[in-house]
Amino acid sequence: MENNNSLFNLRELLVFLIAPLLIGLLTLLAYIMYKSSISISVGTLNITGQFIGIFLALIAILFGGWQRFYAGIIDVLSKKITVNVFVTIAILVSILAGEFIPSAVIILIMAVVGSLEAYTIDKTRKSISSLLNLTPKTANIKIDGEERTVNISEIKLGDIVVVRPGERIAVDGTVVEGFSTVNQAPITGESFPVDKSVGDDVFAGTLNETGRLEIKATRVGEDTTIAKIVHLVESAQESKAPIQNIADKFTNYFLPTVLVIAIIAFIFTGNIKVAVAVLLVACPCAFAIATPSAVSAGIANMARRAVLIKGGIYFEIAGRIDTLVIDKTGTVTLGKPIVTEVVSYKIDKNELLKICASAEKYSEHPLAKAIINYAREKNIKVEDPEEFKATPGMGIEALVNGKRVIIGKENFIKSFNISIPDNVLNEYERQLHLGRTAIFVAIDSTLTGIIAIEDEIKSETVSAISTLKNLGIKDIIMLTGDNKNSAREVSKKINIDRYYAELLPEDKQNVVKELKKDGKIIGMVGDGINDAPALALADVGIVMGKAGTDIAIEASNVTLMDDNINKIVEFIKMSRKVLKRIKLNIFFSIIYNVIGLLLASMGKLSPVMAVMFQEAGCVTVVLSSTLLLFERIEK
């Protein structure tokens, strides 16, 4: 993420505070002029400082409060009692009673609070259309044996699309000629690039890595899998119901009560200022900022921990998560192949590894690179093969130091009339059962070994899962596009009881949808485009931002900038601390309101003193929330 996307960019903050600064300046000038003895004569008209002060105060009130007044009127017409209704009535009565400066101060406080709240929940999301950038704008199609470059919108069903190495595939389709490895992790979430040959299906937006492919288009434009993902994300985001603001719930009962108290106070005292003081001291400013101020501090605290949160509502929800759904590849694993075991027969393991790495040196296949890297980690010298030949989708044949080396799949080995003993086949089946990719090695027509490769689990995953369970999140589910064997073994290693394998993006979203039907509060953790629909539908979507795709970050609510899964633990713990602080803030604000109402109704507070008293409640709430900035989170 770039710095200009930070939730706490100073320039953006100043933009949000322009309106409150102007209101504050107008209010200050209004107070100065109202208290001054200035008198200006314009012809026969005599303009006093008090008149100028009232005029400036009214400008500040209208400039800063018109949106609240408008919202208050709409809420009244909709038969809803909200904070905006309360503020509108309090300001209107205060103006009618001639209390212009206190009214302007109230508007100033509400403007500052509103701007800070808008700033902290600003999502700074990129347009979802950026996902479609994965699909190329043009493509090469084959017509009468000749290639022609066309705009992607011109491709029709049945067209033959030619894709060269390094190019992205423009359509969903079936390979009719050629062989290549295709990185389709953005769509399926598979750990490694997948071999594609004649008859295999491919997806638009995936990356063709090594060979030339000719693809018959079966889905184009809006019908492609990647386009459907866009629509899935959009519909999931729209399905989220906003949580009603707790302050609005409170005012349903509080406003009528305060109005009755103000009327009774006026009847008994005969002083309109007493009634105004009651309304002003009861104005729920402290109550209104109880939540956003705590949320703002919590967001700032987490931002320093490389966790970006796109809205305070997700603190509230995260604190109640009871089910966590986690993607496998790139989330609990590193998403890159590593050699996990070398099984040798009739030869030293290191010698076998040296021969294999040397034989694979000229190969571009990801599994070949894993073997070479593993040999280098063990300080084994990788030599150049005298001969090298790759058979797409099957394996390689090479000559290393005069030895004929065959590496590849079972059928590839057998095509050289090399027999595979039963004990080797049993070992091969064992590796597959462990969720690994296993390849055979034959040297000089003799089956010599097996090399097992798998996706590496992140070092912090096991401890993070354990901590999450200790926090009360007992139901943790792993989703993956990988095969069932791989999913089963990874889930065992990280102590997760439930998993779903071989899932496409819509399948992952359907899992989340079914869980939500059961009334679960769902947190979803992922990193790829294939996770985006599920991230968007979950109550809280958490994305690994460093490795995560733009669309996954767009669809999520929380971004972990350093891809450390322990940050999920920190976020959950901070969410619960924020919830506790919000409740404490609400307690403070209610205490101030009750005491203020008693004093004002007894005539002990003037309108100005009433504003100062309720502002003291605001300060108390802000100080309480500020402590969250320095809150430590135990690992």
Residues labelled as active-site residues: 327
Rounded Cα gap, residues 390 and 356, in angstroms: 14
How far is CA 163 from each of CA 166, 202, 273, 433, rounded to the nearest angstrom? 8, 11, 80, 35
- Compute how many other C-beta atoms are within 10 angstroms of the C-beta atom of residue 94: 27
The per-type count for the chain, helices as H runs and strands as E runs, is 21, 24
4: amino acid identity, one letter: N
CB atoms within 10 A of CB 217: 22
Question: 6-15: long-range contacts at Cβ-Cβ below 8 A with a sequence spacing of 24 or more?
Answer: 6/303, 6/308, 7/119, 7/120, 7/122, 7/124, 7/299, 7/303, 7/308, 7/309, 8/300, 8/303, 12/119, 12/122, 13/119
- Using DSSP, state whether 219 is helix, strand or coil: strand
Contacts with 268 (C-beta within 8 Å, 6 or more apart), sequence order: none
> In angstroms, rounded to a whole number, what is the distance separating the alpha carbons of residues 105 and 618?
13
Query: Across the beta sheet with 395-400, what order do the strands follow?
Result: 333-344, 446-457, 437-443, 403-408, 395-400, 387-391
Which residues fall within 8 angstroms of residue 191, CB to CB, at 6 or more apart? Answer: 185, 328, 329, 333, 335, 336, 337, 455, 482, 486
For residue 126, give the nearest of 497, 552, 591 by alpha carbon.
552
C-alpha span between 342 and 451 (Å, rounded) = 5
Residue 103 tokens, joined = 């009214």
Between CA 454 and CA 192 the distance in angstroms is 9
Q: Is 486 left (phi over 0), alpha (psi -120 to 50) or beta?
A: alpha
Residue from 186, 218, 201 nearest 550 by CA: 186
Range 13-18 contact pairs with CB under 8 angstroms and sequence separation of 24 or more: 13/119, 16/115, 16/116, 16/118, 16/119, 17/112, 17/115
